[in-house]
Structure 1
Amino acid sequence: MKKTIFITVILSALLLGCKDNKNTNENTNGTEKINSVPKQNTKKINVQTTAMNNAWVNEIKLDDGSKWQANLETTQGVEKMLDLIKSSNLKTLEDYHSLASKLNEEKNFIVKECTMKGASHDNLHIFLVPLIEKIEDLSNTSALGQATMLTYRIEENLKGYYNYFQ
């Protein structure tokens, strides 16, 4: 219960705490709305949720065909998360939950150190929101197969960062 409350607080801070975050934000491609994150049912995880797919790639935009300039801390955080996944010896559900905790710490670092503004910041949110959902689902899953799939989807999400940010 404490984890769920903590994750909800962090997610709320991410979505509401950014200085330039408004319901409608201008970017180079016109007006774009940032949607709020749907509440997750932490008792039972539905494998069809947005956390299990990478639909965010249909929403994210490039900067006039170029990658967005990200702050160093964001890129370092993504690299650390990928390293955590690669270096983890995942055999038990406890291993996956431990990985989720470590990934959550790195995600919190990215959110805390965020200095991006404007359209690059808005597109970072498009990348981060499903990543946050996947990490939360990984920490709450009770099935080993689902944990394996979520970890794979988290890794896909993280690798996708480099298609849109530099």
Structure 2
Amino acid sequence: MRKVIVFGIGIMLLWSCNNSTEKSTKHQGTESQTEHHHDESSEAIELNNGEKWLVNEEMNPIVLKGEELVNTYIKAGKTDYKTLSEQIKDQNSKLIKSCTMDGISHDELHKWLHTHLEIVKALGNETDATKANEIVLQLQHSYQNYHKYFN
């Protein structure tokens, strides 16, 4: 069942992004428009000429909410990592649905998101609490990476 859900999220991600050209977009900075593609072979996120990429204002609060959920979970010493996984999946679904980005910034965000989704999937599939705690820390690090590359 979880594989079906993860697959469904992946399909939503691709569908949402492929339809992003139908939505109004904000073009930030000097970013040139490029053909939409998902290059999974190049996973290293790059900065925009040394600067962070701009993320549309609808998406950023959703990422921040997911980060808040993880940080609260850690600070409160919670142990129900399955619930945390479901909450983060919910935020990721909202993030994917709100995607109106295109171009290079969009491609770079997908590099982060692809890895992030894999971490959330691993958390949801984990059965060992000690390993789950390690994965939660990976999630926290994922959000830190987001802030390193995106505004």
Q: 2:119 aligned to 117, 126, 134, which one? A: 134
Q: 2:56 corresponds to which letter in structure 1?
A: N
Q: Output the CA distance in 1 between the equivalents of 2:126 and 2:15.
A: 27
- Inter-CA distance 132–96: structure 2 relative to 1 (3 Å threshold): same
Q: Which residue of 1 aligns with 2:63?
A: 78
Runs of 4+ in 1 over 3 A off after TM superposition: 89-92
Q: Is the 8 A contact 2:120 2:139 kept in 1?
A: yes
Contact 1:80 1:106 (C-alpha < 8 Å) held by counterparts = yes
Letter in 2 for 1:106: Q
More strand by share: 1
- The structure-2 alpha-carbon separation of the partners of 1:91 and 1:84, relative to structure 1 and needing over 3 Å to count, comes to closer
Unpaired stretches in structure 2, ≥5 consecutive residues: 21-30
Identity %: 29
Give CA-to-partner distance per residue, 1:86-145, whole Å, 9 cap, x none: 2224544xx100000000000111100011100000000000001001101101100011
> Match of 2:98?
113
1:10 is aligned to 9
Higher relative contact order (CA 8 A, sep 6+): 2
Q: What 5-or-longer segments of structure 1 have no aligned partner?
A: 22-26, 37-54
Of stretches 60-69 and 127-136 in structure 1, the one that deviates more from structure 2 is: 60-69
TM-score when normalising by structure 2 = 0.80
Tell me if structure 2 keeps the 8 A contact 1:77–1:109: yes
Q: How does 1:15-164 map to 2 (within 5 A)?
A: 15=14, 17-19=16-18, 34-35=39-40, 56=43, 59-88=44-73, 89-92=76-79, 95-164=80-149
Counterpart-to-counterpart distance in 2, 1:138 and 1:105: 14
What CA distance in whole angstroms lies between the structure 2 residues aligned with 1:4 and 1:90? Answer: 28
SS at structure 2 position matched to 1:128: helix
Question: Aligned-pair distance for 1:33?
Answer: 6.2
Partner amino acid, structure 1, of 2:103: G
User: Using the alignment, how far apart are the partners of 1:33 and 1:115 within structure 2?
Assistant: 15
